[in-house]
Structure 1
Amino acid sequence: MRRYETDSPQAAGRVLALAMVVDGNLAQSELAALDSSRILQYIDLDQEGFQVLLQELCQDMLTSAFHGEVRIDGAMLDGLLDEIRHPDLRRQLMQAMWRIADADGWLADAEAVLLARASTLWCAETNFSGQARIAA
């Protein structure tokens, strides 16, 4: 799997692309959700650049296919998510990923795994800051 600079538009775009294809189906409604979220503008990535990232992600995933089945193991998923470190970027991506996952009206198991892992790694329970809140 390719590596991108931490918090780069490419790293963020790949996470969005993964949210779109992780269930094995790229739905038109997911593309519409991506567009309406305006997340590409937020991460400073144009539509053409996103399409390139989407193709590269699919190529990378196919190189690790086993007997025609594409799998993303936990370590690979963690590596992709770890390229996103900034709390605000994590929060914006998480919102967009949920919109994408909800777009087709069905939350696939693979989408649920991705969202749960992102929530865990990105410290959703601590407001994405990596620091636990202290109760008064």
Structure 2
Amino acid sequence: MRHYQPNSASAAGRILALAMVVDGHMAPSELRALERSRLLEHIDIDMDSFHDLVQELCYDLLACNVKNDYVELDPGTTDLLLADITDSELRRELLRAMWNIADADGVLADGEAKLLARACVIWAAEARFITEPDLAE
């Protein structure tokens, strides 16, 4: 699996790409959800660069994770990819976009559910993931 700098545009883009392909296909409705989120603009990736990240991710997944003629993402690999995002705000933005992508085609596939659940566990373990309301106001 390729290594990207933590919190980089490439690391964040790869998480979005993973959310799109983890169910075995990338639906047009998922691409539209990504475009509506405007997250690619926020992390400074254009659509062509994003498609390159998707292609690189698919090559990496095929090279490392083919079992019985299908790609199976093991929990350790998922954890390593999620660990590349350490910034709390970026984690929140990515998680929001990942949910929107997963919901876009009206079907929550097993792979999507596992990825989302794992992201919630790994990222929420950080104390600052949830912004506490200011009680003084």
TM-score calculated relative to the size of structure 1:
0.91
Residue by residue over 1:59-86, the C-alpha shift from the partner in whole angstroms, topping out at 9 and shown as x without a partner, is 0011121232211111100000000000
Letter of the structure 2 residue corresponding to residue 46 of structure 1: D
The CA distance in 2 between the partners of 1:110 and 1:81, in whole Å, is 15
The answer for the alignment partner of 1:63 in structure 2 is 63
Cα distance in 2 for partners of 1:49, 1:125 equals: 30
Q: How does 1:1-80 map to 2 (within 5 A)?
A: 1-64=1-64, 65-80=66-81
SS in 2 for 1:16: helix
In structure 1, list runs of 5 or more residues that go unmatched.
none
Amino acid at match of 1:114: L
For residue 135 of structure 2, what is the aligned residue in structure 1?
none
The match for 1:83 is: 84
Q: Cα gap change, 1:33/1:71 in structure 2, threshold over 3 Å: closer, same or farther? A: same
SS of residue matched to 1:122: helix
Aligned equivalents of 2:33, 2:39: Cα separation in 1? 10
Which shifted more, 60-69 or 36-45?
60-69
- Using a 3 Å threshold, how does the CA distance of structure 1 residues 104 and 89 change in structure 2: closer, same or farther? same
Shift of 1:48: 1.0
- Deviation of 1:125 (Å): 8.4
Task: Provide the C-alpha distance between the structure 1 equivalents of 2:94 and 2:128, rounded to a whole number of angstroms.
Answer: 14
Q: Percent identity?
A: 53
For residues 110 and 58 of structure 1, what CA distance do their matches in structure 2 show?
15
- CA deviation digits over 1:19-75, x for unaligned, max 9? 000000110000000001001011111111101000000000111212322111111
- Measure the CA separation in 2 of the matches of 1:124 and 1:27: 31
**How far 1:124 sits from its partner (Å)?**
6.7
- Runs of 4+, deviation exceeding 4 Å: 124-127
